[in-house]
Every structure is written in structure tokens, then in C-alpha cells.
Amino acid sequence: MSFDAVAIRADFPIFDRKIRDGKRLVYLDSGATSQKPNVVIDAESNFYRLNNAAAHRGAHQLAEEATEAIESARRIVADFLGGKEDEIVFTKSSTEALNLLAYSIGSAPVGNKFHLNAGDEIVLSEMEHHANLIPWQQLAARTGAILKWFEVTPEGRLDLSNIDAVITSKTKIVSLTHQSNVLGTINPLDQLVKRSHEVGAVFILDACQSVPHMPVNVADLEIDFLAFSGHKAVGPTGVGVLWGRATLLAELPPFLFGGSMIESVTMTEATWAPAPRKFEPGVPNMAQIVGLGQALNYLSKIGMSVIHQHEIELTKYALGKLGEVDSLRIIGPLDTQMRGGAVSFTLGEIHPHDVGQFLDDAGIAVRTGHHCAWPLTRKMGVPATTRASFYLYNTTEDIDQLCESILAAQKYFG
């Protein structure tokens, strides 16, 4: 069956509503959050209607069903990523997943593989989202570790020319984005993962912008940890995933403490349940976890390669059409080689907020600002950008409307 974005759109009820006085919704902000298909909305509400009980606790039928619902979602996530069930930790967001890593590593005692000494190095890049920057800044501040980073070239690619000087024998952690949420750049991981492991560092992948949009297999990538969020992958808000190699999760100390993450507790001390339970204290966001499972099933049924191909075609089309607009500057790679469907741009002297407001009046939803990657927008020499980001329900017609409205905005503010 060939890919049909218009037919797919029918699965997403939000596209039935009108925007700003009866206009068709042109949703180009999936990089911020994706829309939800009926199967996800139904899975979430049906959990509350039919199966709601505290998972992993209780001796009654509902508790069994809730537990099974969550554990089957865990199997779905594991299969989706090419990992094992016990390697999937549910968090409330990918931000929490990355913070979990930073805090857990920071609390690793002497003798633990993850223990950081002053002078150990943490490697990032200039294109990181704040969620994969600030937790490491803070960890460095707490431990005396040193923050290093790869620079970004004017074309919006990682500058790996000095890879051996950035990742050194002192490097303990390398944490990089798979795909930039601003530039759309997909980073080449082979060389980075290989170098990280050569020096004994763990490699962490912020996959928020890649897992929802293309096939990502943790075994093929040979990475150590990966974080992504449900809500960018047509899943619910309030659920994120941390995948980690089983041997590493076993050694990593827990981050949050409380119910159901323990093995045994006395008044003075406690021991931990094995991973992933060790990292999941409290009653989890069950309905959201169940919804995420259905979201990934939905994407799998369509096929991640097909979705990625569709987005590459949209991106190619958008780069071509936007490239024809006078004084429009694309911030990021100008071709679709190793590039995903987030296209940021500036429009002459017109501020992105004004562009965004004008587009909104035409029913077009885009993101404006620094996209939680302030060091990157500074590096690219712009105070802010407008970003259009594409997903499986977008069409070339959406991009035509975007370009038309951009031309109208130039007239309005000119």
C-alpha cells in the first residue's frame, strides 16, 4: 500500500476542527509535539474506563490487568527500539530520562563504573536541546567534571574534525542529539560511538527528534543509553522512555526513591529491585504508558522507513520552495542528506514572533523562538528562528500554504 498522508490525517481527530475563524489546520509544529490518533486517545481513556488500578500492586483482577497493560507496552517499546524489555525504563518525559542519567551518574560511589572525579570530561555539542545540556552543566558543577563540546559548522553540521581532541581518555560521558530540533541535522553516530567506546566513555543518545521519525535500532547503533518522549511520537504527554544496556542499568544507582523500586527496606536502609523497576518509583503514568504502546504500534503498522521517506520528500519540497523566497535564510543543511524534517529559517528583518503570529492567522501552526537551544541560535548568529516541522500527516499542500503565507507576511510587515 502506498503512503497516503491525507488518509492518515483522518486518524487524527484534531484535523477535523477549524482554526482562527474557520481555517483548515496546517500543523507544522510536530517537532514540539505531535498530534494524536484515535487509537492512542482511545487506549488512554479505555485504560481509565476498564482497567484502572495501581500496577505492580494489589491482588485483584484490575491490578493484574493494569500490570499486564504496562508490561505489554514495555514489550512494544523494546521491540520498537530493538532492545530488551528489562532495558526499558518509563519516565514522565525524555527530559526526566536525561536528568535521571545525570543524577544517577552523579551519585555513583567510588568504585562504580559511573563514578565521576573532578577533571573527568563530559562531551556534548553546540546543537543540544537545553534538556541535554543543562543536566550535564549541573552535573559538572556538582562533581568538578569538565564540560566539552563539538562545535557546529555554518552549514549546521557537527564539526568532527577534532574528534580525538574532544573525546579523550578523560571522557566519561558523551551525550549527543541524534537529530537537531532546530537544524534538522541528523548526526553521524558510527564514528562518535566508536571513539567513545575506545576511550571507555558511555554514549547517550537524545533521540527525541529521531525515534518518532525514522527507524532507530539501539543494537545496530551500539549506543549505551537512549532517551525519547512519547508525545512527539503520536503518543500521550507525561511519558518518556529511557533505554539502557542491561549491564549498565544494573550498575547505575537509582535516581528517585520510593514505593515499588525496592527489594527490601528497614528503618535505616534499603536495597533496590532490579532494573527497570529500580528506576520507576511510585505508581507510573499508566494510561500514558499504555497509550504510548498503541502509538508505537500505530507507527510500526505504517512503517518507520516509509514515514521517514515521506518526511524526506516533504523536506526536499520545502527546502526548494522556501529557497525561492527573497531574503529567507534557512538555518540548517540545504539538502536532505542526513537531514530530518525540521526546517528553521529567518525572514529578513521580520521577527520570527511576527512571522509566527501572521502564519497563525492563516491557520498555520509553527514554532518560533530559540527552540530551547539558545547556544545554537547564538552560534548561528540569529536571535530566534521560525521552524516548520513535518510528520506523517503533513502534505506538500501544507508547505504550499506555508510559502504563500510567508510571502503575504513579507508584504504585511514590509
Active-site amino acid positions: 372
Is cis: bond before 276, omega within 30 of 0?
A: yes
Of the residues 340, 352, 394, 405, which one makes contact with another protein according to CB under 8 A:
352
Q: What is the CA radius of gyration of the chain?
A: 22
**Beta-ladder partners of 89:** 242
Nearer to another protein, 132 or 377 (CB): 377
x/- letters, 34..73, toward another protein (CB under 8 A): ----------------------------------------
Indicate whether 412 belongs to the interface with another protein (CB under 8 A): yes
Footprint of another protein on 365-404 (CB under 8 A): 368-370, 374, 377, 383-384
Nearer to another protein, 138 or 297 (CB): 138
The CA distances from residue 160 to 163, 268, 391, in Å, are 5, 49, 29
Q: How far is the CB of 357 from another protein (least distance, A)?
A: 7
Indicate whether 363 belongs to the interface with another protein (CB under 8 A): no
Indicate whether 105 belongs to the interface with another protein (CB under 8 A): no
Of the residues 6, 353, 381, 404, which one makes contact with another protein according to CB under 8 A:
353
Vertex 216 angle, CA 215 and 217, to 5°: 120
Run of H or E including 147: strand 146-150
Indicate whether 183 belongs to the interface with another protein (CB under 8 A): no
Residue 294: helix, strand or coil by DSSP? helix
Round to whole Å and give the CA distance between 101 and 252: 8
Indicate whether 293 belongs to the interface with another protein (CB under 8 A): no
Indicate whether 18 belongs to the interface with another protein (CB under 8 A): no
For every residue of 197-253, DSSP letters joined together read HHTT-EEEEE-TTTTTTS---HHHHT-SEEEEEGGGTTS-TT-EEEEE-HHHHHHSP
Q: How far is the CB of 350 from another protein (least distance, A)?
A: 8
x/- letters, 158..177, toward another protein (CB under 8 A): --------------------
Nearer to another protein, 289 or 359 (CB): 359
Q: Where are the alpha helices (DSSP H) in 278-371?
A: 286-302, 304-323, 352-361
Indicate whether 150 belongs to the interface with another protein (CB under 8 A): no
First to last CA, the chain: 46
Indicate whether 345 belongs to the interface with another protein (CB under 8 A): no
The footprint of another protein (CB under 8 A) covers 20-21, 351-354, 357-358, 361, 368-370, 374, 377, 383-384, 412-413
